[in-house]
Amino acid sequence: AQSVTQLDSHVSVSEGTPVLLRCNYSSSYSPSLFWYVQHPNKGLQLLLKYTSAATLVKGINGFEAEFKKSETSFHLTKPSAHMSDAAEYFCASYTGRRALTFGSGTRLQVQP
């Protein structure tokens, strides 16, 4: 079975500075990994998904994630934070139970 661990419950950055949200996965086979964003009182929006076609995955709103098998990581990055990026971010993977399981979430705060 797979699971994901988000290493930071809260990250605060200044507007215009880089964003790094960390996610590690544990898996005994090829993982299915995703990043979702949730704004207050909204559902979850898919940012990007990992496929074996590329280890660097580009998503919406300028976000990227790099799959590193040697580190079992799938960290989310963005070169320059915008105020509208403030939200809750979830890393997710499929478990052997056929349904998506989420990490505990990272709250991104963007300071002006």
Partner 1 sequence: DTEVTQTPKHLVMGMTNKKSLKCEQHMGHRAMYWYKQKAKKPPELMFVYSYEKLSINESVPSRFSPECPNSSLLNLHLHALQPEDSALYLCASSQDLWDRVHMEGNSPLHFGNGTRLTVT
* Cross-strand partners of 88: 38, 107
CA angle 84, 88, 94 (to 5 degrees): 130
Q: Which is nearer to partner 1, 52 or 112 (CB)?
A: 52
Q: Which is nearer to partner 1, 6 or 110 (CB)?
A: 6
Min. distance of Cβ 87 from partner 1 in angstroms? Answer: 13
Applying CB under 8 A, which residues contact partner 1?
30-34, 36, 41-46, 49-52, 90, 94, 97-105
Minimum distance from CB of 23 to partner 1 (Å)? 12
Look up residue 99 and give its amino acid.
A
Minimum CB separation of residue 19 from partner 1 in Å reads: 20
* All residues at 6 or more sequence positions from 31 whose CB lies less than 8 Å from its CB, including other chains: 2, 25, 50, 74, 93
- In the complex, least distance from residue 6 CB atom to partner 1, rounded to whole angstroms: 9
CB closer to partner 1, 15 vs 38: 38
> Rounded to an integer, what distance in angstroms lies between the CA atom of residue 77 and that of residue 50?
14
Radius of gyration of the chain (CA): 13
